[in-house]
Amino acid sequence: MRLLPAIIMLFCIELINAQDTIPDIILKGHQYTVYCTDISKDNQYLVSGGWDNSVKLWDYKNAKEIQSFDYHKDMIRCLKFSNDNTMIASASRDKTIKINKFLTGDIITIENNYSPNIDEYYRDTYFNAISFSPDNEQLIFTLAGRNEIFFWDIKTNSLTNKITGHEDGMKGLELSNTGKYIASIGRDYTMMIRDLVSMEETSSFRGHAGSVGALCFSKDEKYLVSGGGGNVSYRKPKEFYNLMLWDVVSGKLISILSGHVDVVMDIKFTPDGRYVASVSEDNSVRIWDVKTAQQIWKYESDCYFLSCAISPDGKYLAASSRDETIKIWDLNRILN
């Protein structure tokens, strides 16, 4: 008879843990996979882009779609809010970037007129990363099949500069919080950090067994976290999908965060730098303790996740999924 209370207690513990993972908010409106998402710096809006070619603006705390923009003719690959919360940039497989000044309704179009310049692997090019400069005057982007980082003046809608990044081609980029650093991913599995003003390389490093899927700086710009990526057609040992924490100045590896078993699609630091959230094609969203390098929370689904965002106030974690939704959790509830 003593066994029954123990069984009941274990069941209750499992139920409580399951409830801890239930999303607090679910945004529904896209018709296909939600590929990318971002939260405005003032915590007011969430923007999402999907395989249904639409960019959607949300009052995410109230689960309300504010507006859907349908100016793209193909799937959205990446998008970003400007630092002053007045613009949304989205890059599509239709070979355009749209800069939407959504408060005024003005839209700027950047055309992809670039041919591959690295090798015969690419028959065409496509935008694979975008970011606003700290002063919101330029859009910085990279193209698969090219080996440069491009700087585009938003006011004149013209190219102002481009610098050679990784000789073997670019897979993406990430700006640090104040814009002091710009980190880039190469097809050769390397990561490079440059000073954004001088454009001089400050460090270059490689540690992943395979390619790199995602990067993120900590808010204090001391650390960079990277996630293992790769072609999903060629499954690799789980070690290929580790997260790695790096010292930005020295480029030295600090710790390895092991747990994902498939491509890491996106990573974000919490504003206080204590935690890292990651999403993967292993159908999971995970949170890691930076100090201990241990996983402390996991949500699993029957669909894989493609992007994540943490609100600048550190209260919410959002993850976009192949199931056509964006799931949002209250971080105060699951971390405290």
Query: What is residue 231's predicted lDDT score, i.e. its pLDDT?
Result: 54
Structure tokens at 55: 């960019």
183 with 191: CB under 8 angstroms?
Answer: yes
Query: What is residue 234's predicted lDDT score, i.e. its pLDDT?
Result: 56
What pLDDT, in 10s, does the model give residues 242-300?
A: 999 999 999 999 999 999 999 999 999 999 999 999 999 999 999 999 999 999 999 99
Structure tokens at 21: 């993972």
Query: How far is C-alpha 266 from the chain's CA centre?
Result: 4
Q: Which domain holds residue 223?
A: 25-335
CATH code for position 215: 2.130.10.10
Residues 6+ positions from 317 with CB-CB distance below 8 Å: 268, 277, 285, 287, 308, 309, 310, 311, 328, 329, 331
CA diameter of the chain: 79
Give domain status of residue 20, yes or no: no
Of 329, 321, 332, whose CA–CA distance to 28 is shortest?
321
Structure tokens at 240: 């290929």
Phi, psi angle pair for 308, to nearest 5°: -145, 160
Structural domain total, the chain: 1
Give domain status of residue 17, yes or no: no
Whole-angstrom distance between the N-terminal and C-terminal Cα of the chain?
35
Phi, psi angle pair for 67, to nearest 5°: -160, 150
Give domain status of residue 239, yes or no: yes
Give domain status of residue 19, yes or no: no
Give domain status of residue 3, yes or no: no
Confidence band (pLDDT; 50, 70, 90) for 123? confident
Query: How far is C-alpha 35 from the chain's CA centre?
Result: 10
Give domain status of residue 315, yes or no: yes
Give domain status of residue 263, yes or no: yes
What pLDDT, in 10s, does the model give residues 168-222?
A: 889 999 999 999 999 999 988 899 999 999 999 999 999 998 889 999 999 999 9
What pLDDT, in 10s, does the model give residues 103-116?
A: 999 999 999 999 98
Give domain status of residue 6, yes or no: no
